[in-house]
Amino acid sequence: MFTRLSGKILAALLGAVSLSLGLGAVASRAAEDAVVIPAPAIDEAGKSGIETAVFAGGCFWGVQGVFQHVKSVKSAVSGYAGGEAATAQYETVSTGTTGHAESVKVTFDPRQVTYGKLLQVFFSVAHNPTQLNFQGPDQGTQYRSALFISDPEQRRVAEAYVAQLDKAHVFKQPIVTKITDYTGFYPAEQYHQDFLTLNPTYPYIAYNDLPKIKNLKQIFPADYRQEPVLVLKAKG
């Protein structure tokens, strides 16, 4: 199973080496299978304007990549949430001692795509919400499943949906996703942004994350868009 490298080694590797894999065999295997789940029975209603939501579900590369392919998402930025600004750096967060989780901040228009729909995608294809403090090969509290809630309506929808899914036993194990108040989000280093799109042949991406994009397209065809909304393109 492919694991991630430290930030310094990864940056050097990406700058010096162009990896080329036979993706047909590798990308067809996913560390975690998607689960088809029902839509939330309770969702936001009547919201207008631009909304943000922060999701944590293992390595932020794959979570960001999934949300960047969801229609009507305005942006999806990889970063850190749950800890202090002073410790929001990759090498420090990777120690598992900062309180941060690798997270993705999603900006969206709730009139076009609801928070409930984003939760459905998150629980179904973006990660496995039954794994406590790990996702696939990644171990530690920085890889925990968590929702950082921006307002009471998001909390109402999230808590109701977790209860709905657990009651329906759609997963083999109970959902362990932490629902906690938003206290701040700190964007990750530039080399982490758009990582899935920019490095599709990187072994970790090919094995763990490209299947998530395939599952998104298959399970949510009406919500899938071929061209992702990229952070670096938006800045440019």
Helix (H, G, I), strand (E, B) or coil at 108: strand
Enumerate the β-bridge partners of residue 101.
81
Tell me the Cα Rg of the chain: 17
Q: Which of 10, 37, 53, 59 is catalytic?
A: 59
What are the residues whose beta carbons fall under 8 Å from the beta carbon of 42, sequence distance 6 or more? 116, 156, 157, 160, 161, 164
Cα–Cα distance for residue pair 1/8, rounded to 1 Å? 21
Catalytic residue flag (residue 93) = no
Residue 73 CA from chain centroid, whole number: 13
Helix (H, G, I), strand (E, B) or coil at 183: coil
| Catalytic (active-site) positions | 59
